[in-house]
A and B are shown apart, each in its own frame.
Chain A
Amino acid sequence: MILSELLGRSVVDDAGTRLGRVVDARFVLDPAPGEPNSTARLYGLIVSPQGHTSFGGYARRDMNSPALIMAYMRWRERGAFLVLWPDLATISSDTVTLRAGYTRYSPALVDS
């Protein structure tokens, strides 16, 4: 699969309720690039009810100024959440379905 085919797909819960769209994919680099057998595995998907992805660095947890722009970006991205791979039930041609009891996580990036 090509990532752009996944981005933009509708996301629904197990009851069929629409939750938003896939706006980004989060990967874990382990082992890191440049090391033997480096791997980037899909950690989860970022889902946004508005369909807006983050930009300007405001996806990062420690990025919080200028306050006015931060407030706008937070408002623009309201409701977005990260859902981890184990909580994905199926991916069909136009819809991603989550498992019952899935967990919504903060989409903020934390430097590791």
Chain B
Amino acid sequence: MSESLPLPPQPHGRVIDAHLLLLDRQVLDPHDVPVTTVDDIELSHVPDATPLDPGDPPVITNLLSGPVLATRIFGGRAPRSRFERIPWGDVTDVAITTHISVPAEELDLTWVERWVGAHIIAHIPGGRHDPE
């Protein structure tokens, strides 16, 4: 890190780096139930190979969660359609974990867990109540 470089103008608002505080962080719902991790971030408009507007920076539209394990090991990139999205407007706090305002059971990205719980785990003796 270059100590001799000037500090940038201090903007109004909190400043975060995506790698440090968003990517791979756990997402918790309003009841502190773990929902997923942030696998990627979707940005609004970024024109491809055309001059950028200095006064119109892109913003985060969605946090993405999807099948990234295989692509991180073997390379490549998962299709965008495979990601589940959490709108940025549902984010209530960004800290060690990311908090959202939507309960886990209302999110599409937890349907596999809910389906397995209802159709498989529930049929196993003792599978309908919490462990004692």
Interface residues of A (CB under 8 A from B): 1-7, 23-34, 37-44, 46, 53-55, 58-59, 73-74, 77-82, 84-93, 103-110, 112
**Which bracket fits the contact residues of B?**
35 or more
Q: How far is the CA of A82 from the CA of B5 in the complex (A)?
A: 9
Q: Is the CB of A91 within 8 A of B17?
A: no
- If the complex has contacts A90-B49, A106-B7, are A26 and B16 also in contact, measured as CB distance less than 8 A? yes
Chain A nearest CB, measured from B50 CB (Å) = 7
B-side contacts of A53, CB under 8 Å: 19
Contact B55 A112 (CB under 8 A): no
A32 and B40 contacting across the interface, CB-CB below 8 Å? no
A50 to chain B, nearest CB (A): 12
> Is B58 part of the contact surface with A, judged by Cβ < 8 Å?
yes
Q: Does B129 contact A (CB under 8 A)?
A: no
A73 CA to B1 CA in the complex, in Å?
Answer: 8
Contact of B88 with A40 in the complex, beta carbons under 8 Å? yes
Q: How far is the CA of A4 from the CA of B68 in the complex (A)?
A: 11
Task: Report whether over half of chain B's contact residues are helix, strand or loop; otherwise say mixed.
Answer: loop
Expressed in whole angstroms, the minimum distance between the Cβ of B51 and any Cβ of chain A is 6
A46 to B2, CA, bound (A): 12
Residue of B whose beta carbon sits closest to that of A103: B6
Residues of B in contact with A (beta carbons under 8 Å apart): 1-3, 5-8, 10-20, 23, 40-43, 46-52, 54-55, 57-60, 64, 77, 80, 83, 88-89, 91-94, 99, 101
Given A39-B59, A110-B10, A33:B49 Cβ within 8 A? no
Q: Select A1's contact among B6, B43, B54, beta carbons within 8 Å.
A: B43
Contacts of B41 in A (CB 8 A): 2-3
- Min distance, Cβ B66 to any Cβ of chain A, angstroms: 10
Partner of B18, one of A24, A33, A82: A24
Which residue of chain A has its CB nearest to the CB of B7?
A106
Asked whether, in the complex, the Cβ of A90 is within 8 Å of the Cβ of B19, the reply is no
B20 touches A59 (CB 8 A): yes
Sample of 30 A–B contacts (CB below 8 Å): A2-B64, A3-B43, A6-B46, A24-B19, A24-B20, A26-B16, A26-B17, A26-B18, A27-B18, A29-B13, A30-B13, A32-B13, A38-B89, A40-B60, A41-B58, A42-B58, A43-B8, A81-B2, A81-B5, A88-B52, A90-B49, A91-B47, A91-B48, A91-B52, A105-B7, A106-B7, A106-B8, A107-B1, A107-B5, A110-B7
